[in-house]
Structure 1
Amino acid sequence: MTHETATIKVWDLWTRLFHWSLVTAFATAWLTSGVWQTVHEWAGYSVAALIAWRLLWGLVGPHHVRFRHFIASPGAALGHLKAMARRREPRYLGHNPAGGLMIAVLLAGLAAQALTGWLQTTDAFWGVAWVQETHQFLGNALLALVGLHVAGVIASSWQHRENLARSMVTGHKRAPGPDDIA
């Protein structure tokens, strides 16, 4: 006899397509930097378009993807991380406070990355050292932040015995229990 755990749809198709498209565009831009400029630039434009779309979706999209539902203060995120260290953090159906803050930081950083990349194509900022240096720094800082994001996903998946990466593919998560935060 097999036991099926009840699931609930949390991530809509558009959010999942956004997520994996952003992963692909950022990875492409990072890997082609200084090697294949045309592909690098188009990947950067794709990141910019995806960020613009996500900003809109964060205002009008489904419940769990709306910014007002998951953007947390740094204090709330720190409290959640402290609870994680004690292995006493609650399970969130959507983003937990640390994950929500990480998303805000990643979106802001990617927007700044796209902006500094675009500025380098303009007459006013082409060849300007601080723009190039900022763009390069942001690319590497964002890669480190992505690593932290993935580590957080792995830690939360382990703690709550739930494959969060799979939920960003299927859209489904385990239905909330009595102590979970929906």
Structure 2
Amino acid sequence: MKEKILKSYKAWDLPTRIFHWVNFTTVLLLIFMGLMMLFKKDMGITSLEAKITLKTIHVLIGYVFVLNLAVRIGWGFVGGRYSRWMNIFPGKGYIGELSAYLGSIKAGEPKQYVGHNPLGRLAVAVIMLSLSVMAVTGLVRAGTDIYYPPFGSTFAAQIAAEGVDPATIKPYDKTGTDAEKAKALSAFKGPFGTVHIYTSYFLMFLILLHIFVVVRTEIKEGGGLVSAMITGRKALSKEPEDLNG
């Protein structure tokens, strides 16, 4: 059997790699804290103070997550070649590229890429959309639940009774609030919470699927996907499809 000769290619720049691992860590922490909040009663956590503490920790981690995501979105316009959205998100000719890639897998000779392969590009698009939904809905709930920035002061002002300083409104405390306005805010925030929770479930599924696909691709196609997200370089045995152009 002919020995495969590997050639190293620069793939991921440092900011992209930092984003990946910060995002990975914060998402796992947010899921953990979210599950704690959902099942707090089963864990014996019943006091209001503990409830607010859990929510506050969740929100603070969320700020790191949102900031990291915002930086990555911006970097997608100015970063390295394989980190740019124009080379990641599916665009013109994508269906043909995907079909050719799937055909190469079926033939037992999978095409190799310095950046994301066509399936990976689709996965990144779905993941980034899901992360963005989580960020927006999370910020809204941070404002409606515990009146944290960037929307907290606005929501507090909306429900404050006449003559009451919005800054004195406390989380999960009706003191100083207008009952009707508070009811309206509760109705407003409900859908955001529902979307936030179900998107988090979807993200859990995506994380498991991502790990499975990375392991499968590493075994079947090579390329050093995991090490590349640490070193920034891929070791490929074929001429990459996306090396030129």
TM over 0.5: yes
CA distance in structure 1 between the partners assigned to 2:127 and 2:57 by the alignment: 22
Quick one: distance in 2 between partners of 1:81 and 1:99? 12
Superposition map of 1:89-100 within 5 A: 89-100=110-121
Q: How many Å separate the matches in 2 of 1:63 and 1:159? A: 26
Asked if the contact 1:10–1:64 (Cα under 8 Å) also holds between the matched residues in 2, the reply is yes
Alpha-carbon separation, structure 1, partners of 2:58 and 2:15: 24
Matched, 1:101 2:109: no
Give the letter aligned to residue 195 of structure 2.
T
Match in the other structure for 2:16: 15
- CA distance, structure 1, for counterparts of residue 200 and residue 97 of structure 2: 24
Identity of aligned residues (%): 26
Counting only pairs closer than 5 Å after superposition, residues 32-51 of structure 1 correspond to structure 2 as 32-33=33-34, 34=37, 36-51=54-69
Question: CA separation in 1, counterparts of 2:105 and 2:137?
Answer: 35
Tell me if the contact between 1:76 and 1:97 (Cα under 8 Å) persists in the aligned partners: no
Q: In 2, distance between residues paired with 1:144 and 1:178?
A: 33
Amino acid at match of 2:209: L
Shift of 1:75: 3.4
Aligned residues: 180
The code of the aligned residue for 2:105 comes to M
The alignment's TM-score, normalised by the length of structure 1, stands at 0.86
Counterparts of 2:231 and 2:186, CA distance in 1 = 43
Letter in 1 for 2:198: F
Q: Please, which runs of 5 or more residues in structure 1 have no aligned partner?
A: none
Gaps of 5+ in 2: 41-53, 145-154, 156-184
Structure 2 residue aligned with 1:168: 229
What is the aligned partner in structure 2 of residue 64 from structure 1? 82
Which amino acid in structure 1 is aligned with residue 140 of structure 2? L
Q: 1:119 aligns with which of 121, 127, 140?
A: 140
Deviations 1:95-147 (A, max 9, x none): 01111111111111111111111111334555732221111101110111122
| Distance (Å, rounded) in 1 between the aligned partners of 2:23 and 2:87 | 21
Is 2:13–2:232's contact at 8 Å kept on the other side of the alignment?
A: yes
**Contact 1:119-1:131 at 8 Å conserved across structures:** yes
Residue aligning to 2:95: 75
What is aligned with 2:205? 144
- Change beyond 3 A, Cα 1:86–1:39: farther
> Residue type matched to 2:76 in 1?
G
Q: What amino acid does structure 1 have at the position aligned with 2:222?
A: R
Q: 1:66 to 1:129 in 2, by over 3 A?
A: same
Q: CA deviation at 1:18?
A: 0.6
SS of corresponding position for 1:109: helix
Change in Cα spacing, 1:6 to 1:78, as seen in structure 2 (3 Å) is closer
Q: 1:121 to 1:161 in 2, by over 3 A?
A: closer
Contact kept? 2:141, 2:193, Cα under 8 Å: yes
Residues 154 and 82 (structure 1), Cα distance of their counterparts in 2 relative to 1, 3 Å cut: farther
CA contact (8 A) 2:113 2:240 kept: no
**Rg comparison, structure with higher value:** 2
CA shift, 1:70, in A, is 2.1
SS in 2 for 1:162: coil
SS in 1 for 2:199: helix
1:122 match: secondary structure: helix
